[in-house]
Chain A
Amino acid sequence: GAVVSQHPSRVICKSGTSVKIECRSLDFQATTMFWYRQFPKKSLMLMATSNEGSKATYEQGVEKDKFLINHASLTLSTLTVTSAHPEDSSFYICSASGRGGWQETQYFGPGTRLLVL
């Protein structure tokens, strides 16, 4: 089966610092990766879609200078929360889809819980 990992699983940082979250597809080539944000007991909100080798497409209301996304290879995408503030505290989840038979389904990582103090 398709496995997607995220690192770190949990991070606590001080306000004003930047945090990088990695998302890796372990056993398939992820041509597209998605980043979501989830608040407690709420649904997932898509933040951005990234295709390997091109700039990410951000959803309306998501600040691209705040949430930097890089999809440099077919197995790795990173989300950097720049100058984090307490309101950025949330659960961030990535997903990946690939080519051919891997295209329709998104495979999700286990999520990263960010707490900004």
Chain B
Amino acid sequence: SQQGEEDPQALSIQEGENATMNCSYKTSINNLQWYRQNSGRGLVHLILIRSNEREKHSGRLRVTLDTSKKSSSLLITASRAADTASYFCATVLTGGGNKLTFGTGTQLKVEL
């Protein structure tokens, strides 16, 4: 079964709106990371949040982590058409070295 499952699977919004994606996982983690993938390309690392952190910001990105609920959210504020991509959460399990287990991904489309 998937360690990380994301919802929604697909999200379509207008430019300027905020986009929120959620990620749930099953087992204890060391950290959780969010990645972005443009169609047919490699992944770009967006942000890492450790298990003892609750919230982190980077530019227009805000990530929260709730270890009691085993969930994380990624908020993109004031979205732009260029934010159109797939977004994946990935977890590093406790004792898992730095091996990443990816979620199912959310396909975000930002329309003009």
- A109–B37 Cα distance when bound, in Å, is 11
- A6–B88 Cα distance when bound, in Å, is 21
B100 to chain A, nearest CB (A): 6
B-to-A contact residues, CB < 8 Å: 2, 31, 33, 35, 40-45, 48, 88, 92, 97-105, 107
Can you list 19 pairs linking A and B with CB atoms under 8 Å apart?
Answer: A43-B104, A43-B105, A44-B43, A45-B102, A46-B101, A49-B99, A95-B43, A95-B100, A103-B98, A104-B31, A105-B33, A105-B48, A106-B98, A107-B45, A108-B35, A108-B42, A108-B43, A110-B42, A113-B40
A-B contact count (CB 8 A): 54
What secondary structure prevails in chain B residues at the interface with A?
strand
| Residues of chain A with a CB closer than 8 A to B103's CB | 43
Most buried by A among B31, B43, B45, B107: B43
